[in-house]
A and B are shown apart, each in its own frame.
Chain A
Amino acid sequence: MSAMVGGAGDLLIRPGQVPLLARPYYADGDPGPIVAALAQVPELLETAMPFLGAALGPSGIDWRTKEIVIVRTSALAGCRYCVQAHSVVALDAGLSHEEVRALRTDIAVADAFAEPRELALLEWVDVVAGTGPVPDDARAAVRRLWADHEVVELTTLVGATLLLNRFATALALPTGPDTAARLATEGLP
């Protein structure tokens, strides 16, 4: 048995209890609740973070596009933590309030997005992040406007985001105070 009892806070490794392999992730201060939870299993943390970094971090696909995928996927998965955290990141990546609200399903996608590639991508995300089979015509539609390697990477991004969505939701990871304050400032719940 471990300290994993009670609320989500008990799941997070406290600063004085950071395992040796996890210490690099705390070098710049609070690493956030995803790292602080994964630090319970250091070998998992140091394997997962490079993958998550490659999937969600900077890559050959631009920041705006990746945040479109992450926020939309998180909204469809109902992940409060990821929607809130990445709404802020999406704004920083240059998305408008209207676009963020559309990704969060507050308003229709068509009311905020017009660029064909982004619309095709959003249709693909909605299929991939949903349940059930993925129709051939949906795959064909996204492949008409996105290169094969981009489809593979963006599909991986949906999958990695879903992993984090379920992780954050299941463990009730807390939204950080800075994120909450920014959302309040931006008028986003």
Chain B
Amino acid sequence: MTATTVDGPIGAAVAEGTLPGRVWMYANYHCNIACTYCLTESGPRAEARVLGAQAMLDVARQAAELGFTDLGVTGGEIFLRPEMPELLAEMSTYLPVIALTNATLFARRLLDRIEVLAGLPVALQISLDRPDPDTNDAMRAPDNFAKVVAAIPELVTRGIAVRIATTVSSIDDVELDRLCALHRGLGVPDTDHVIRPIVARGRAVDHGLGVSAAVSDLPAELTITADGAFWSPFGPTVHGGLLDTDLLITRTTAPLAVPAQALLRLVEGQPRGADSTLGIR
């Protein structure tokens, strides 16, 4: 295989905007809560599907070498892995990291350990869907709202960059205004608040939630999991306990150039397969 570097085709594609700059990793699939719209059917009894720490560091290093610009880490609840604060810190030596968390595990001990991220290019993106406990917790978990609004100021005070992610089918202006007032009061400005739709994959399907998302609807963000490389972080979803493969790119994830080049080939609309006309079945 031809070695690819930041000056190679992947780096060029990222620089010209053909490929998104962020590489995502699914650190794990298990979670301490089970949201009704969860893409991955995560929960306490979900299969962990852990992407090993060394594998994550290798992805981070190779992503930088290839010319990607950012890293994303998601799950599952990533802080169920005790090594996560130090792992995120080390990953950020390669590229800036955004890490998704439900922020319900930030008891004193974890808060102390997460101080290692202060001042580093690591942002924690915390889920907060509604400005009221009842409506927020109905789709997430009991006491979720209380834990989140308690954790955010603790993190901000410690110098940890925090973003808020609101995942909803719809939200009216009044409720959104109250939600924004809430996150501002917690120390998170509007520029660090994202609102995204529920996608009809995973557990959301069983609850009749979300919008359908075809491959053309999803940015081609390379996403690495223990099961392979996918088109988007919305790709490696789980439904009925089975991993969805419709957005699978390759099972090979190392070296990262393999799925990155396959992704670029797909983005450029040049998949192979003309030999299928040979009738070899």
Contacts and interface: CB of A to CB of B under 8 A. Distances in A.
Interface of A: 1-3, 13, 16-21, 23-25, 27-28, 31-35, 39-44, 46, 49-50, 52-53, 56-58, 85
**Central interface residue in A34, A41, A42, A46, by most chain B CB within 10 Å:** A42
Nearest to B246: A17
Interface in B267-281: 271-276, 278-281
Nearest to A10: B242
Interface stretch (B58-66, B80-88, B130-138, B247-255): B247-255
A73 to B, nearest CB: 15
Contacts of B215: 20
Contacts of A17: 244-246
A25 B227 CA distance: 22
Contacts of A28: 276
B141 to A, nearest CB: 26
A24 B250 contact: no
B26 to A, nearest CB: 14
Nearest to A25: B276
Contacts of B6: none
A20 B266 contact: yes
Interface string B225-247: 00100010000000000111111
**Closest 8 pairs (CB-CB, A-B):** A24-B273, A32-B281, A19-B248, A57-B278, A53-B278, A43-B250, A53-B275, A17-B245
Contacts of B274: 24
Contact of A49 (B242, B247, B250, B280): B280
Contact of B275 (A1, A40, A49): A49
A46 B231 contact: no
B278 A19 contact: no
Nearest to B47: A1
Given A20-B271, A21-B271, A24-B273, A43 B252 contact: yes
**Main SS at interface, chain A:** helix
A36 B28 CA distance: 28
Given A20-B248, A49-B275, A49-B276, 9 more contacts: A2-B242, A13-B245, A17-B245, A35-B276, A35-B280, A40-B251, A42-B249, A42-B251, A52-B280
Contacts of A56: 280
B180 interface: no
A31 B281 contact: yes
A57 B279 contact: yes
A147 to B, nearest CB: 24
A20 B218 CA distance: 13
B217 to A, nearest CB: 14
Given A21-B266, A53-B278, A46 B273 contact: yes
Contacts of A41: 250-251
Interface in B33-87: 47, 49
Contacts of A34: 280-281
Contacts of A85: 281
**Central interface residue in B215, B244, B248, by most chain A CB within 10 Å:** B248
B258 interface: yes
A23 B271 contact: yes
B174 to A, nearest CB: 39
Nearest to A36: B281
B116 interface: no
Contacts of B258: 43
Contact of A27 (B227, B242, B276, B279): B276
Contact of B280 (A2, A21, A46, A53): A53
Given A2-B243, A31-B281, A32-B281, A24 B276 contact: yes
Contacts of A13: 245
B262 interface: yes
B183 to A, nearest CB: 36
Contacts of B244: 17
**Central interface residue in A16, A18, A53, by most chain B CB within 10 Å:** A53
Nearest to A58: B278
A100 B247 CA distance: 42
Contacts of A39: 245
Nearest to B247: A20
B276 A16 contact: no
